[in-house]
Structure 1
Amino acid sequence: MTTSVINLLKVRDDRSPVHFEEAGEVGKFKLCNGSDASWLTTPEFGLKELRSRVEPWLTSLFQTEHLSLLVGSGITHAVHHIATGSSAAGMDREGYNFGDQHDKICAAADREAPRAGRTAANIEDDLRVANELLRGMEIVDSQKQAQLKQQLETILGQFASSILRSEGGIATAEAARREQAFNTLVTFLMSFASRSGVRDRLNIFTTNYDRLIEAGAELAGLHLLDRFLGNLMPIFRSSRMDLDMHYNPPGIRGEPRYLEGVARFTKLHGSVDWVQTGKDIRRIGLPFGVDEVAPYLKAPGLSDASPHKLMIYPNAAKDSETANYPYVELFRDLAAAVCRPNSTLVTYGYSFGDEHINRVIRDMLTIPSTHLVVISYNDPLGRIMKTYEELGRPSQISLMIGPALSDLQTLTETFLPKAAIDKTTFRMSELLKQRFGTEPRPSPSVEKGNEGLGSVEDLI
């Protein structure tokens, strides 16, 4: 007997999450026992009723003064599944070996995993403990530090290769499915990035190491502004220079306007193509979906680089200064972007397993005019709902959890606002409202040719 999948929806004036499940027919749903929704008039409903409830709400939130998008591993798994029919590589610790210290490292990681809300440790936890152990060995000048360092370099290389394999799975998928996957990703990104010119730029944050967001932005023609400057081998800059892209409208001087299709981009945990070279952090030219990193580290200026120097969190830190840099700068960007009035943060595929990020979100919600939208395919460990309860601000939080709401294709086709919220849309809406929204029935003048309404210019 199969267990029905439960979906959770909380938007607008819902006092608590509405639980619903499939009603036995594709696209038809019913409320779960004990759940109630004042906006439903029939026991069964479909995507049409859900769309009328969700889409206007998201459209309104997406046009708040400040908008940020935080994506986790769920976006990679979703796009990879569309392209290949299978999930992307995860954080499973199987296949990694730390040598003589393996059992001790895994045991320590298992003890620390519950602090992050995980029932079992993953490779990130193992790497974090291994780095701490390596630092301790360097302090006491242990004879085993060279062996552990070599194992760490090997494992980080394997870890980077697993990330690249996920990219490669998408890049080498069957042409029709690959095109469908990237089209869905582009639609997803542009639904957020298409903001009117008077609004602040969209801020995109990700905890992923892969370059899926960058690939989607490139296909969409979306310009990403980050802390890296340069073209051949961009270098990470600590100083946050508020660079932007503007244009001068014809016939207007001194009033530059925002160039459309520009967003600010931050990879909170680093990237598979970031490498530490001396005192600098650079982004190397690593093709999307390439087999391995090592051949691309054999370039002038990267002589001391190795997989051990890749800036993927937790990186192989040499001291506390290196451990904090550049991640402290990136998390500062997150706090600066979301912790301000009239700000909306949308999370997709983020399981709330990073306490650094959760702390920023908690601080954001202390500002009454902020709002958090959580979109997730599932919540297998219960971390999302646990965080929701702990935050204690239900009026400032919207929830869309479950495949009926958060499947990437369903989300982009049904619930996200269209990717062109512009003046023309609002003018048309206002025109239709004045024509048909104020009178219960069209007047004869309207039926004959809109006499009495005046010109379109008068309306808009």
Structure 2
Amino acid sequence: MTLDNSQRHLRDGGQILKTRDDQVPVFPARNGGAEETTKPFKLPNDATSSWISANEPFGPEKLRPRIEPWLTALVQSEHLSLLLGSGLTHAAHAIATEDVLPGMGAIRFDILHEEIAADAKRASELAGRDIGNFEDQVRAANELLRGLEIIASTKPIVAPEHEQIEGVRRGLKVALGSFAHSILEGERQLVSASAEKRERAFNHLVSFLMSFASRSGTRERLHLFTTNYDRYVEAASDVAGLRLIDRFVGTLAPVFRASRLNVDLHYNPPGIRGEPRYLEGVARFTKLHGSVDWMDCGRTIRRIGLPFGAKDATPYLTGAGLRGADAMQLMIYPNAAKDRETAAHPYVELFRDFAAAICRPNSTVVCYGYGFGDEHINRVLEDMLTIPSTHLVIIAYGDPLRRIMDTYEKLGRHAQVTLLIGDHLGDLQALVDHYLPKPAIDRTTFRMAELLKTRWTVAQGEDDRTGTAPADEAGAGR
């Protein structure tokens, strides 16, 4: 199996795995034999691996010893960041509803539609997609609007460019309003699912987040980044009791601040003076592309009190300082080429946080559900890997556009990259049930491991002197 065949391999139910001492990715294929339900995978005849033989059926019982200890070690890095893409939202929504997440199709503008569609198609082809989508159209319309404003600035009010500006702006307002509605619809479908399925979805979300956020007070807390506009992460954090620290300050109408990043929560351990530690159950949180409840209010960015899964955002835009606000003031930029937006407030501060958090020695970044379609994010990840002690973990359900494997090849530093890709390895339920670290700071487990290690070492030393066979771990404790 080669990287060139990775897309077909994943479509056929295969997996891509690279952990620990794997020098190249391993490509487990689906096992079509009688053991498919319990041991669904096997290596093809032409594949080689240090930990599994070709054509030997295996399942989670063989994969877990390869993956879980490795991930557990990585998440204990000095600096840990979690980058979440839309794959997390899709996974949680599918668990709760057994349906696909509502999305936005292509839209039609009343003015200059053909020009917008042509540029959207050009951008989609550059990104490796066949046709332009809603995000490409919004990007093209934003750029067209800015160009028309420049042209119209020197022309009389009766010039046709002014009418075109109003037409494009109306189209954008409708499009962004519909987009916000689709985001809220996805939230509403989650909370309106049956109690059993909703609870299962939130349990998996909570366990997923806590697998990374459960860091002891001596470790720097988790940096949580997301490109999503929805609030699945915030909802799961509320359920888990995980406190998120972002740049918003205030209670009634939180305001985005560029100067309050270092506000944090610490405690003094009993008997220790002058050495405060991080309070557990806290994470730093950054929404890189904005949120459905962020509003541009004059010269400030505010987070409005928009309920999770609200039917419509409009009734919540009439508060103090928000009169006249509409979808054009929502801080969501749904396009794949966001370099222009990331140079403006507040995105310059958000991406500065992202680069500062991950581009440090002994830093690990775990990506889940992120398709590597944003070049401005990929560049920062590439810069991070120039530091030899950093590591990148990529977990994904699939790679339909081959962006992940292309990025893997482009990065070149394969020893610093872990891959878990496929409809099993990237499945949220399988990850939580089999492969992620324990979602708790469990001192008992650590003490037990040290005790067993000590007892095995003692038993081994006695065996060397007496020539007897070593006792098993259970026997060593009797």
- Structures share a fold, TM > 0.5? yes
1:117 maps to what in 2? 128
2:379 maps to what in 1? 359
Mapping for residues 145-184 of structure 1, pairs under 5 Å: 145-184=165-204
2:350 maps to what in 1? 330
CA distance, structure 2, for counterparts of residue 247 and residue 427 of structure 1: 24
Amino acid at match of 1:128: R
**In structure 2, do the counterparts of structure 1 residues 116 and 135 end up closer, same or farther at CA, with 3 Å as the change threshold?**
same
Which one of the candidate residues 42, 46, 60 is aligned to 1:47? 60
- Do 2:15 and 2:29's aligned partners in 1 also have CA atoms closer than 8 Å? yes
Matching of residue 131 in structure 1 with residue 139 in structure 2: no
**In structure 2, do the counterparts of structure 1 residues 110 and 245 end up closer, same or farther at CA, with 3 Å as the change threshold?**
same
Matching of residue 106 in structure 1 with residue 117 in structure 2: yes
Q: Secondary structure at the match of 2:12?
A: coil
Amino acid at match of 1:6: G
Aligned-residue CA RMSD (Å)? 2.2
1:56 maps to what in 2? 69
Q: Secondary structure at the match of 2:424?
A: helix
Amino acid at match of 2:373: G
TM-score, length basis structure 2: 0.88
Q: Secondary structure at the match of 1:249?
A: coil
- Do 2:456 and 2:476's aligned partners in 1 also have CA atoms closer than 8 Å? no
The alpha-carbon deviation at position 117 of structure 1 amounts to 3.5
Matching of residue 308 in structure 1 with residue 328 in structure 2: yes
1:184-228 deviation per Cα after TM superposition (whole angstroms, max 9, x unaligned): 000000000001221111011100000000001110000101111
CA distance, structure 1, for counterparts of residue 343 and residue 58 of structure 2: 51
**In structure 2, do the counterparts of structure 1 residues 342 and 322 end up closer, same or farther at CA, with 3 Å as the change threshold?**
closer
- Do 1:51 and 1:414's aligned partners in 2 also have CA atoms closer than 8 Å? yes
2:12 maps to what in 1? 4
- Do 2:220 and 2:278's aligned partners in 1 also have CA atoms closer than 8 Å? no
* Percentage of matched positions with identical amino acids: 59
Matching of residue 261 in structure 1 with residue 281 in structure 2: yes
1:38 maps to what in 2? 50
CA distance, structure 1, for counterparts of residue 363 and residue 476 of structure 2: 46
The alpha-carbon deviation at position 314 of structure 1 amounts to 5.1
1:382-430 deviation per Cα after TM superposition (whole angstroms, max 9, x unaligned): 1100110011111000000001211100001100010124443322211
Q: Which runs of 4+ in 1 moved over 4 A?
A: 320-323, 440-443, 446-450
The alpha-carbon deviation at position 322 of structure 1 amounts to 9.3
- Do 1:196 and 1:422's aligned partners in 2 also have CA atoms closer than 8 Å? no
Any gaps of 5 or more consecutive residues in structure 1? 451-460
The alpha-carbon deviation at position 329 of structure 1 amounts to 1.1
Matching of residue 88 in structure 1 with residue 101 in structure 2: yes
- Do 1:134 and 1:145's aligned partners in 2 also have CA atoms closer than 8 Å? yes
- Do 2:247 and 2:256's aligned partners in 1 also have CA atoms closer than 8 Å? yes
Mapping for residues 213-252 of structure 1, pairs under 5 Å: 213-252=233-272
The alpha-carbon deviation at position 93 of structure 1 amounts to 2.8
CA distance, structure 2, for counterparts of residue 372 and residue 350 of structure 1: 13
Mapping for residues 189-200 of structure 1, pairs under 5 Å: 189-200=209-220
1:454 maps to what in 2? none
Amino acid at match of 2:205: L
Amino acid at match of 2:208: F
- Do 2:111 and 2:164's aligned partners in 1 also have CA atoms closer than 8 Å? no
CA distance, structure 1, for counterparts of residue 380 and residue 475 of structure 2: 56
- Do 1:277 and 1:304's aligned partners in 2 also have CA atoms closer than 8 Å? no
TM-score, length basis structure 1: 0.92
Q: Secondary structure at the match of 2:112?
A: helix
- Do 1:62 and 1:344's aligned partners in 2 also have CA atoms closer than 8 Å? yes
CA distance, structure 2, for counterparts of residue 309 and residue 400 of structure 1: 38
CA distance, structure 2, for counterparts of residue 448 and residue 361 of structure 1: 46
CA distance, structure 2, for counterparts of residue 272 and residue 303 of structure 1: 18
The alpha-carbon deviation at position 151 of structure 1 amounts to 1.5
The alpha-carbon deviation at position 252 of structure 1 amounts to 4.2
- Do 2:455 and 2:476's aligned partners in 1 also have CA atoms closer than 8 Å? no
- Do 1:195 and 1:422's aligned partners in 2 also have CA atoms closer than 8 Å? no
The alpha-carbon deviation at position 97 of structure 1 amounts to 2.1
Amino acid at match of 1:187: S
The count of residues paired between Structure 1 and Structure 2 equals: 442
CA distance, structure 2, for counterparts of residue 115 and residue 422 of structure 1: 48
Any gaps of 5 or more consecutive residues in structure 2? 1-8, 153-160, 461-468
The alpha-carbon deviation at position 33 of structure 1 amounts to 4.2
